[in-house]
Amino acid sequence: MVSYDPEIYRNVPLLPLVIPKLERLNISDILGTVGRVFVKHGVFSDFGFLVAHRHFDLDSDEILVDFDSSDGQISVALPWKFHSKVNKVQGPGNLDHFESFGLSRDNKGATSVLAMTWAFDSDGDIHPFEFEMRGDGETSHREPPPPAFVADLFATLKRLGVENIFGLRRCAPKFWETTDDAKRANISHFGDVPIPLELRDKMKVIYWSFNATGESKVNGICVGCTCSAHGDGNSCNCK
């Protein structure tokens, strides 16, 4: 059973619409303030600070699920089929598409779909909008964000005037991400895989982690642009 509302995903902005807002902020001051909230509630080892965003649309019967490759070098987030009446994830919407990335449903014995990223609504409630496939042995360490932490974080973000920009992501190794809009796929690269030279100037910071003293470090970047295709909320076709 998966708790998911497709409307939440639709309300998360496309990254290029968020970038201009980010560029007007003093990110360093925000991270310093937010880091203290993570430390106060002891969640800095479990969650990181995310620019809540999406790269493409999903249909009402789809859910975005991130799946690891067998070698752990990449993970790929793709639309999977979702039955809202029973809150059940069926599997990849297009198995050939799924396997074209070198993925297999047998990877690491993954059997459970769990929330990976969360966004706030206007009332301060937090909702998952991206998910990940994990093995049964990993589910015990995948609890949702504690309510007291969520309330404190939202109050802090609201005071800073950025509650509609940031959310949460479950802690992950350092990564860089590209998106194939035509295939509706987010590909995250881990380890020492180098970023192609032609993409380096297009990378935007979208995820930070904190240590036990509240200091932040960049843990995730992805390709983002501000091209005119996004003025009406269209997906990006930039190369």
DSSP 184-205: TEEEEEETTPPPPGGGGGGEEE
**Backbone φ, ψ for residue 162 (5° rounding):** -130, 25
Q: Is the pLDDT at 20 greater than 70, yes or no?
A: yes
Q: Give per-residue pLDDT as tens, 49-66.
A: 999 999 999 999 999 999
Q: How confident is the model at residue 233 (pLDDT cuts 50, 70, 90)?
A: very low
The verdict on pTM exceeding 0.75 is yes
Which of 131, 119, 121, 58 lies closest to 89 in space, CA to CA? 131
Q: Look at residue 94 in the predicted model and tell me its pLDDT.
A: 78
Query: Distance between CA 172 and CA 130 in Å, rounded?
Result: 14
CA atoms of 3 and 144, how far apart (whole Å): 11
- What is the rounded distance in angstroms from the CA atom of residue 13 to the CA atom of residue 9? 9
Q: Going by DSSP bridges, is the β-strand pair 216-223/175-180 parallel, antiparallel, or unpaired?
A: parallel
Residue 108 pLDDT > 50, yes or no? no
Cα(36)–Cα(98) distance, integer angstroms: 40
Q: Is the pLDDT of residue 70 over 80?
A: no
Q: Are strands 126-135 and 110-120 parallel, antiparallel or unpaired?
A: antiparallel
C-alpha neighbours within 13 Å on the C-beta side of residue 11 = 16
Q: 231 pLDDT band (50/70/90 cuts)? A: very low
Q: Are strands 62-68 and 126-135 parallel, antiparallel or unpaired?
A: parallel
